[in-house]
Chains A and B, each alone.
Chain A
Amino acid sequence: MQFFGGTEIISPSPPTPSTSVNKANMMYIFNRSGVCLLYKEWNRPLKTLNAQQDHKLMFGLLFSLKSLTAKMDPVSVDKGNLGMPQLPGQGCSFHSFCTNTYKLSFMESPSGIKIILVTHPKMGDLRESLRYIYNLYVEFVVKNPLYSPGTPIRCDLFNTSLDQYVKSLVVA
């Protein structure tokens, strides 16, 4: 199956033992109305909230951060007021932030699909990877005849290919 035109699906050779430690912690996919379509976790020893609170907090964090980063933009004219709702794709957009314990990578499509991957802080630039995951979402979720848009994702083919792909991401 083709995803990126001529380029075949990235199917990495099995990770070598030294890098086989999974560097991803967890992942979220939200749609434009804030529904958490998918939450997946690989390594999250510390949990303090229930699932719903956790999703809401993550969504809120992104929402505020987007608004703040756009407001602080020193070069773009089109920034609006702080807290003013934005259109997806409007203004500048952040794609990751890092703390001493984790890195959060983020992508948002103009249709408001948000993909968030939380990893080891030393993980490199994941923008391409998130786009790849967006393509997986299109192939195995959106084009799955059994999936109704806007509902939580329950598609085996997506889960397996996502899991395989995320596990292949390694710290350079």
Chain B
Amino acid sequence: MAPVAPRTGDAVFANVERVNAELFTLTYGAIVRQLLTDLEEVEEVNKQLDQMGYNIGIRLIDEFLAKSNVTRCVDFKETAEVIAKVGFKMFLGVTASVTNWDADGTSCSLVLEDNPLVDFVELPDTCQGLYYCNILSGVIRGALEMVSMKTEVTWIRDMLRGDDAYELRVKLLKQVPEEYPYKDDE
């Protein structure tokens, strides 16, 4: 039996259940607004969004792997490409580009020019310091951790802050091999 080939981002997106992006964008916007009211501190909102993203990432990874037929994520470079081309496409319907690799191949940028999270969004001045899309960095960090890659994900560019694109810096801290989880005490 031939192994099942990984699918392209377009193929996976065409096959998943889809909904109107409006519902998603407005729901996310309403959550951010409510968090701003409840938490008051912008920094706290950033943290909460990141935590939500992380929790989403650790769930979403299995859906991603199951539907894309990706069977290995061992090489960081390869994995970054897969996130950008298949992961983003499969969930958000857009692709990101991978650029700015550092010399030892452990950090790169994911650049998004089109981002459905921010349709209809304008940040008021009171939200200085808010990383509106912080959920995304959390998702990536959570998902990568489940495939053994501990990473740090930070925002470099943000269109809501006047930049010309969204740029996430993904830095691989270490790859965590699987360990025998039980103590040999019996």
What is the interface of chain A, defined by CB distance below 8 A to chain B?
2, 4-6, 32-35, 53, 56, 59-60, 63, 84-90, 109-113, 125, 127-128, 131, 134-135, 137-138, 142-143, 149
Q: Which residue in chain A gives the minimum CB-CB distance to B4?
A: A131
Q: Which of B66, B74, B182 contacts A138 (CB 8 A)?
A: B66
- Chain A contact residues: helix, strand, loop or mixed: loop
What are 15 contact pairs spanning A and B, CB under 8 A? Answer: A5-B11, A5-B14, A32-B178, A34-B182, A35-B181, A63-B178, A85-B177, A86-B178, A87-B148, A88-B147, A89-B74, A109-B62, A109-B71, A112-B178, A149-B59
Beyond A6-B15, A56-B182, is A127–B1 a contact (Cβ under 8 Å)?
yes
The answer to whether A110 touches B147, judged by C-beta atoms less than 8 angstroms apart, is yes
The answer to whether A110 touches B65, judged by C-beta atoms less than 8 angstroms apart, is yes
The answer to whether A135 touches B66, judged by C-beta atoms less than 8 angstroms apart, is yes
Q: Which residue in chain A gives the minimum CB-CB distance to B182?
A: A56
The interface bits of chain B over 4-34 (1 if a CB of A lies within 8 angstroms of the residue's CB, else 0) are 1000000110110100000000000000000
Beyond A32-B178, A128-B1, is A134–B146 a contact (Cβ under 8 Å)?
no
Q: Does B140 contact A (CB under 8 A)?
A: no
- Chain B contact residues: helix, strand, loop or mixed: loop
**A-chain residues with CB within 8 Å of residue B147 when the two chains form the complex:** 88-89, 110-111
CB distance from A55 to the nearest CB of B (A): 10
The answer to whether B17 touches A2, judged by C-beta atoms less than 8 angstroms apart, is yes
**B-chain residues with CB within 8 Å of residue A127 when the two chains form the complex:** 1
The answer to whether B178 touches A88, judged by C-beta atoms less than 8 angstroms apart, is yes
**A-chain residues with CB within 8 Å of residue B120 when the two chains form the complex:** none
CB distance from B45 to the nearest CB of A (A): 23
Q: Which residue in chain B gives the minimum CB-CB distance to A113?
A: B62
User: For the complex, what is the distance from the CA of A135 to the CA of B63, rounded to whole Å?
Assistant: 8
**A-chain residues with CB within 8 Å of residue B67 when the two chains form the complex:** 5, 135, 138
Q: Which of B138-155 contact A (CB under 8 A)?
A: 146-148
Q: Which of A85, A90, A134 contacts B179 (CB 8 A)?
A: A85
**B-chain residues with CB within 8 Å of residue A137 when the two chains form the complex:** 62, 66
